[in-house]
Amino acid sequence: MQEDFLDCVLERWQFGFNDPYLVSWIMVAIYILAALLAIAVARRASFPARTRRRERVFWVGVAIALTLMAVNKQADLQTLMIATASCLLRTQGWFDQYDLLKGLIMTGLALSAVVGGAVFVRALLPTLRRTALALLGLALVAGFIVFRAAESLNALGPLRGVVRGNWPDRILELSGPLVIVVAALILLDRHRTERP
């Protein structure tokens, strides 16, 4: 049973660089650049003493999220997760419930993005002058994740007629980290100009 499960997963996903195209490597570089800038902000930016710890933790979290996105871009971890879930359903005899589970997964992802965003905004409310742009970037990254999951699960529904090609993927995927890069550069520049 375990070998059948592993064979099923490995038929659908392979370990290695799963997206070896130039555009994908450029996207990986943008994610890594944004993550490195987020670390630089966490270490060097001038934050008020009252919110310093919260803002530094936020920027480290941004760096971790972007690093995971860079790894996922080549490792194709969402395909691994979908293959694992699908093979688990198949080997456990639950595959006839696939549509219900697909709906639950999409609802859970969308709710997680909305609730996570609300929690971040609430926690960072006193810092929004400095973190709003980065939060927007994270929201775009979350939107990309939800959209990509819907696409992978064939759950776009009525959007399928509107969405042709992969331009929504590219726009969402590129805009999130670029907004974070801009937010980080603004904070680093402000720190440089405020230093005596």
pLDDT of residue 160: 54
- Rounded CA-CA distance 128/51 in Å is 11
* 69 close to 142: Cβ distance less than 8 angstroms: no
Q: Which residues of the chain have pLDDT under 70?
A: 1-3, 5-19, 76-77, 94-100, 152-168, 191, 193-196
pLDDT of residue 60: 96
pLDDT of residue 30: 94
- Domain extent for 43: 2-194
**In angstroms, how far is CA 57 from the centroid of its own chain?**
18
pLDDT of residue 50: 92
For 168-177, what is each residue's pLDDT tens digit?
A: 677 888 899 9
pLDDT of residue 154: 66
- Rounded CA-CA distance 105/116 in Å is 16
DSSP code string of 105-159: HHHHHHHHHHHHHHHHHHHTGGGHHHHHHHHHHHHHHHHHHHHHHHHHTT--GGG
pLDDT of residue 5: 64
- Rounded CA-CA distance 91/81 in Å is 15
Provide the number of structural domains found in the chain: 1
